[in-house]
Amino acid sequence: MLLAIVTCPAFSWFWSYSDRAVGHRRRCTKRDLARLASQSGLEPAGSAYFMFLLSPLLVLSRFLRPHAETLDGKDLQDTIRRTYRIPTAIVDELLALALAVETPVGLWVPFPWGTSVHGVFRGRA
C-alpha cells in the first residue's frame, strides 16, 4: 500500500507576492486536494487545515503589503528582502507559542480554515 502525505498553502484568497516569491503555483482547499488525489487514483484518508491562529496576521499583511501584480523585478526583490528576514527572538517565541497551542487543539477541533492544508491519501503501489 502506498501512503501519500501532502501539504500545501490553502485558499486562493490568501495569495500574495509572497507565494510567487517562494515558488507556489496555487493554493488549495481540502476539496481541491481530494479531487486531485482522486484523479491520481488515490483515496483520501483525511485532511485538515492548520496555521489557523496565524491566519489573521496573514490577512492583515495582505492589506498592508503591495499586491504581486503591482511589483516588477526590482521592487519585488526589495520587498522580498525586507519581508524575509529572521524575526526577532520575541516574535519567534510568540509564533512558536501560537503553533504549540494550535497543534494539540487541532487534533480535537477541525479548524474551518488555515493558511495551509494537509491531506493523507492511500493508494496501491
Ramachandran region, residue 124 (left: φ > 0; alpha: ψ -120 to 50; beta: rest)? beta
Count of structural domains within the chain? 1
The predicted-structure confidence for 8-43, as pLDDT tens digits, reads as follows 999 998 887 778 778 889 999 999 999 999 998 999
Range of the domain at 62: 2-123
The predicted-structure confidence for 39-92, as pLDDT tens digits, reads as follows 989 999 999 999 999 999 888 877 776 665 677 777 777 777 777 778 889 999
Residue 23: the pLDDT is 84
pTM attached to this predicted model:
0.80
